[in-house]
Amino acid sequence: MTGDNDTHKDDLKDSDALALGQQLCFAVYSVAHALNRTYKPLLERFGLTYPQYLVLLALWQKDGMTVKGIGEELGLDSGTLSPLLKRLETAGFVSRVRDKGDERQVIITLTPKGVALKSDAFGILMEIGKATGCSMQEAAALRSALHDLNRHLDASQQI
C-alpha cells in the first residue's frame, strides 16, 4: 500500500509542476502582454505601436543603423521590420536611404521629428516605472535576470 501512496505523491508533484501558474514561460508571456497593454495608451498619443517604439529606442541609442542592424538588435526579421519602418517613415519619424557604398543596404536615420520625440520618451519611461511598482534597483535586477535568462536560452540553442 505504501508504494501506491508514494506513486500518487509523485503523480501529484508532476501535475503541480505542470500547473500553468508554475510555468516560467507563462509568467514571461503574461508580463510581456501586461507591459504591451500598459505601453499602448502611452504610445497611442504619438501614433506609435510598441514595435515602432522599440525601433526608435534603438535609433536614439545609435542613429543611422541599417535595416539588418536594427533587426539584429531587436530580434526581428526584415519581413516584420520593413513594413514597420515604412509606417515610421510615413509618420515622419525616420527616413530610409539606400547605402551609396552598398545598394543592398538601407540606412535608417531619425528625422528632426524622430529626434524631438526622444524627450517625450522620458515621460513614457516614468509612467512605465510607476506602473510596474518596482524601484529602480528592483527593475534593474529584473532586467539583469531576464538578460541572463535570454543568454542561457540562446546558448542552449547553440548546442
**Residue 138's domain is classified under what CATH number?**
1.10.10.10
Lowest mean pLDDT among 2-6, 11-15, 31-35, 77-81: 2-6
Asked, for residue 19, whether it belongs to a domain, the answer is: no
List, for residues 107-140, the tens digit of each pLDDT value.
Answer: 999 999 999 999 988 899 999 999 999 998 999 9
Total domain count, the chain:
1
Instruction: Please report, rounded to a whole number, the percentage of residues in the chain having pLDDT higher than 90.
Output: 74
**CB burial class (10 A; 0-12, 13-18, 19+) of residue 123?**
exposed
Asked, for residue 42, whether it belongs to a domain, the answer is: yes
Asked, for residue 17, whether it belongs to a domain, the answer is: no
Asked, for residue 8, whether it belongs to a domain, the answer is: no
Residue 47 domain boundaries = 24-158
Asked, for residue 134, whether it belongs to a domain, the answer is: yes
Dihedral angle sign, alpha carbons of residues 43, 46, 63, 66: positive
| pLDDT of 10 strictly over 80 | no
Backbone angles phi, psi at 107, to 5 degrees: -95, 130
Backbone angles phi, psi at 85, to 5 degrees: -65, -35
Asked, for residue 46, whether it belongs to a domain, the answer is: yes
Asked, for residue 133, whether it belongs to a domain, the answer is: yes
Q: How far apart are CA 155 and CA 133, in angstroms?
A: 32
List, for residues 26-35, the tens digit of each pLDDT value.
Answer: 999 999 999 9
| pLDDT of 70 strictly over 70 | yes
Q: How far apart are CA 29 and CA 41, in angstroms?
A: 20
Q: Could you give the 3-state DSSP secondary structure of residue 96?
A: strand
Q: How far apart are CA 40 and CA 43, in angstroms?
A: 5
* Site of grid cell 536615420: 109
Asked, for residue 18, whether it belongs to a domain, the answer is: no
